[in-house]
Amino acid sequence: MKKFQTITSTYVPLPIENVDTDQIIPARFLKATTREGFGDNLFADWRYDKEGNPKGDFVLNDPTYSGEVLVAGKNFGSGSSREHAAWAIAGYGFKVVVSSFFADIFRNNALNNGILPVVVSDDFLRGLFNASKADPKSTVTVNLEEQTITNNTTGECEQFEINAYKKECLLKGLDDIDFLLSNKDKIVAYEQQRTYAY
Amino acid sequence: MKTLFDKIWDAHVVTTVPDGPTQLYIDRHLCHEVTSPQAFAGLRARGLKVFRPAQTTLTADHNIPTMGQDSPIRDKVSRFQVDTLAKNARDFGLTYYGLNNPKNGIVHVIGPENGYTQPGMTIVCGDSHTSTHGAFGAIAFGIGTSEVEMVLASQCILQTRPKTMRINFEGKLREQVGAKDMALYMIAQLTTGGATGYFVEYAGEAVRHLTMEERMTLCNLSIEMGARGGLVAPDETTFNYLRGREFAPKGERWEEAMAYWQTLHTDEGAQFDKEVTFDASQIKPMITYGTNPGMGMPIDGTIPTLDEIDEAGKISFEKSLRYMGFEPGEKLEGKPIDYVFLGSCTNGRIEDFRLFAGYVKGRKKAHNVTAWLVPGSWQVRKQIEAEGLDKILEAAGFELRQPGCSACLAMNDDKVPAGKYAVSTSNRNFEGRQGPGARTILAGPLVAAAAAVNGKITQP
Ligand code: SF4
């Protein structure tokens, strides 16, 4: 995994609530056996028509919006546990997803793939949508070290939560498997001391 | 004083990362073809073996046809994915129930029916409806592919301890109302994000009276309100279900297990972070009208009007109704439908087929309806045949298919065409879930049966 660094970027607004993982990456794209290539099908059914032509009214097809940050409505990533959703978002080039609420599994999957989910207040989220509506070149700054996000149009800044362990992983570019493997003795010890064995 | 959840969780903590997640030991791990290949590839890349091969079981279910399973899968990409699973099973020495294996079926159907799912366990699978197994009083939850790799490599996973919620269903259910209706009712009340961050225990008179299979339906849908999982304390119903099943403990081991299982309940006075109570007698047969499982209402209800929706939710609400071809304030009872899907890990077990067959017996399938009846496993299908339900279904104009996830996520050929309405007993009505442009109305097996013979949405 790559180390996570402070990002200042324009962002792509998606002011829709309850965006589920079936929208992020529809099931018919899950037949792959590798992690590559999912970015092309991110939001496939919103992005392309039946013939595969880009739909002009979808934000990813609007050249005025771009950036490494996706800003989405409340309850982003609900539904299926498919990590392909996180691969699609990473594959497309997003490094941060901002919303006022994330579904649990999506949040874990994102973190495991070096994508930072940032939870902001409803007001802050509205501020971001308003700013990009007025000027698509509006930017946001995400500082993981300080755990802050700034709306550079209004100067508004908010603190966000992330547990210390995950923060460390992202900053250092480490993953959970490295950690678990270093802990094998403890696992064996646990197995031996169990009172009820299955 | 501990909750049931606390007891099981605490018994599985290997260690806690300072200021971080818990390292949780996993008793049982189930894998299927769609969310596992990248995890096995990860193991190969790191040069690792599976740490505890006896604790992982593989089945093919998501991406397989439901007809002609004895010939090779026609879709090449799907075939490669299933073949990859078989190869991974061989290379890593894991038990695999491939196509045509008598134990093959949907991952959350075969775990319980083989007695593989037991009280007090931690169970994970790369599929969000792993919550189904919670019906046995287990901590069971869905995981992502990176986490599948963690479990394969170490039999552990890193998790933040969720908060606990108890949902009580007091009173008795009405006739014709089942676990699916309870779940759709509950999600409509709590919304799709209402239980995010929580692990739910279901309790109360109406839950105690549910059969094992109904409890599975209820727990299955926990994830649709955002919960990490849901569980029900094991009791006589649980023990009676498990006794004699293939992987259930036998003889002395059974006694030992029972002694432990009987301790698995929430202590009197234990505190939950949140508690909700519903009156079960108020629940009517339910359907959904929108594109998430929280958009549910009684069959005789009306879709909310725009002024009942809060400002921030309006864009999504209108988008959803546009997709479904419905109007705010509309009534759906009497609406013609095109497809009926009976199946999935939510409602693809024997009791669901009994209910469906019981209703259609002596009636005929409506000619405007295409019906897919897909048993959750080969054992379910065998039981259907043993009870003669297949004959009843056939006489009513229905055909039984072969097991798999099928139209629940439409990765195979069972896709509902764009614009068509499907009454489905599965768990998700998301845009395109049952095929691009497909319009899904979620319901229980009885409502699905009524739709199949009447050709429209009606009371069962
Ligand atoms: S039936 Fe549907 S929800 Fe259940 S395991 Fe299969 S795809 Fe997942």
What's the pLDDT tens digit per position in B97-141?
Answer: 999 999 999 999 999 999 999 999 999 999 999 999 999 999 999
Q: Do B260 and A112 touch (CB under 8 A)?
A: no
Average pLDDT, chain B: 96
What b/e sequence results for B387-423 when a residue is b if at least 16 CB atoms lie within 10 Å of its CB, and e otherwise? eebbebbeebbbebbbbbbbbbbbbbebbbeeebbbb
Q: What string of DSSP letters covers A98-162? A: EES-B-HHHHHHHHTTT-EEEE--HHHHHHHHHHHHH-TT-EEEEETTTTEEEETTT--EEE---
- Cβ separation of B197 and A75 shorter than 8 Å? no
pLDDT over 70 percentage in chain A:
99
* Model pLDDT, residue B96: 98
**Residue bearing tokens 């971080």:** B20
A173 pLDDT above the threshold of 90: no
Cα A161 to Cα A128, B61, B258: the distances in Å are 19, 38, 42
Beta pairing partners, B167: B202, B276
Question: For B416, which DSSP code?
Answer: P
pLDDT at B194: 94
Per-window interface: B 349-388 vs A, CB < 8 A:
none
pLDDT at res. B86: 97
Cα(B236)–Cα(B240) distance, rounded to whole angstroms? 6
pLDDT reading at B419 higher than 90: yes
Interface check for B127 against chain A (CB to CB < 8 A): the answer is yes
In this prediction, residue A197 carries a pLDDT of: 65
For B249-275, write each residue's pLDDT tens digit. 999 999 999 999 999 999 999 999 999
Cα of A172 to nearest chain B Cα, Å: 15
Within 10 angstroms of residue B16's Cβ, the number of other Cβ atoms is 13
Q: What is the predicted pLDDT for the residue at B19?
A: 82
Mean pLDDT across the stretch A24-31?
Answer: 92
CA distances from A11 to A14, A160, B456 (A): 10, 18, 45
Ligand 1 pocket list (CB less than 6 A): B 61-62, 106-108, 127, 129, 344-345, 405, 408-409, 426-427
Q: How far apart are CA B460 and CA B448, in angstroms?
A: 8
Within 10 A of B250 (CB to CB), how many other CB atoms are there?
14
* Nearest alpha carbon to residue B264 among B234, B243, B221: B234
The DSSP element (H or E) to which B89 belongs, if any, is helix B76-92
pLDDT in tens, A115-152: 999 999 999 999 999 999 999 999 999 999 999 999 99
Q: Give the closest of A28, A33, A190 to B25, CB-based.
A: A190
Q: Say yes or no for a CB contact (<8 Å) between B144 and A83.
A: yes
Q: Does B419 touch chain A (CB under 8 A)?
A: no
Nearest-neighbour CA in chain A from B76: distance (Å): 10
Neighbours of A174 (CB within 10 A): 14
Q: Do residues B139 and A171 touch, judged by C-beta distance below 8 A?
A: no
pLDDT of A81 reads: 85
Using the mean position of ligand 1's atoms as its centre, give its distance from the Cα of residue B251 in Å. Answer: 34
CA A171–ligand 1 middle distance (angstroms): 36
Flag whether residue B290 sits within 8 Å of chain A, measured between CB atoms.
no
**Inter-chain contact B316–A81, Cβ cutoff 8 Å?**
no
Residue A145, min C-alpha distance to chain B (Å): 16
Residue closest by Cα to atom 6 of ligand 1: B405
Mean pLDDT calculated for residue range B159-164: 96
The percentage of residues in chain A with a pLDDT greater than 90, rounded to a whole number, is 84
Q: Is B356 helix (H, G, I), strand (E, B) or coil?
A: helix
Facing A81 at nearest CB: one of B63, B128, B193 = B128
Average pLDDT over residues B362-374: 98
How far is residue B384 from each of residues B50, B356, B391, B442, measured CA to CA in Å?
37, 11, 9, 23
**Concatenated DSSP letters for B231-259?**
E----HHHHHHHTT-TTS--HHHHHHHHH
Q: So what's the pLDDT on residue B18?
A: 84
Interchain contact, A33 vs B38, CB within 8 Å: yes
Smallest CA–CA distance from A178 into chain B, residue: B150
Q: What does the pLDDT read at residue A110?
A: 95
Whole-number Å distance, alpha carbon B377 to ligand 1 midpoint, is: 12
Is B313's pLDDT higher than 90?
no
Positive or negative, the CA dihedral B182, B184, B188, B190 is positive
Task: ipTM value, please give it.
Answer: 0.91
Q: What is the pLDDT of residue A79?
A: 87
Query: In a 3-state reduction of DSSP, which class is residue B285?
Result: coil
Whether residue B134 contacts residue B222, with contact meaning beta carbons closer than 8 Å, is answered with yes
Residues B23, A186: C-beta atoms closer than 8 Å: yes
Model pLDDT, residue A93: 96
Q: Indicate yes or no: CB of A163 within 8 angstroms of CB of B25.
A: no
- Number of Cβ atoms within 10 Å of the Cβ of B92: 18
For ligand 1, pick from B36, B58, B62, B442 the residue to mutate: most ligand atoms within 8 Å of CB: B62
Q: Are β-strands B13-16 and B22-25 bridged in parallel, bridged antiparallel, or unpaired?
A: antiparallel
Q: Chain B closest CA to A60's CA: distance in Å?
A: 18
Whole-structure pTM over 0.80, yes or no? yes
Q: What tens digit of pLDDT does each residue of B180-219 get?
A: 999 999 999 999 999 999 999 999 999 999 999 999 999 9
pLDDT band at A198 (very low <50, low <70, confident <90, very high): low
| Cα separation of the two ends of chain A | 36
Cross-strand pairs, B59: B97
- Over 80: is that where the pLDDT of B288 sits? yes
Q: Which of B87, B131, B154, B159 to mutate to test the interface with A (most CBs of A within 10 A)?
A: B154
3-state DSSP assignment of residue B317: helix
* Beta-bridge partner residues of B278: B169
Q: How would you list the strands of the sheet with B274-279, edge to edge?
A: B229-231, B198-203, B163-170, B274-279
Max Cα-Cα span within chain A? 63
Task: Please judge whether B312 and A17 are an interchain contact, meaning their C-beta atoms are less than 8 angstroms apart.
Answer: yes
Helix (H) or strand (E) holding B170: strand B163-170
Instruction: Work out the minimum CA distance from A52 to partner chain B, whole angstroms.
Output: 12
Helix (H, G, I), strand (E, B) or coil at A18: coil
pLDDT above 90 for A80: no
CA distance B408 to B451: 18
Chain A residues closer than 8 Å to B192 by CB:
18, 75, 78
Q: How many residues does chain A have?
A: 198
Work out the average pLDDT over B135-154.
Answer: 96
Kindly report the average pLDDT of chain A as a whole number.
93
Q: What is the pLDDT of residues A44-79, one digit of tens each?
A: 999 999 899 999 999 999 999 999 999 999 999 998
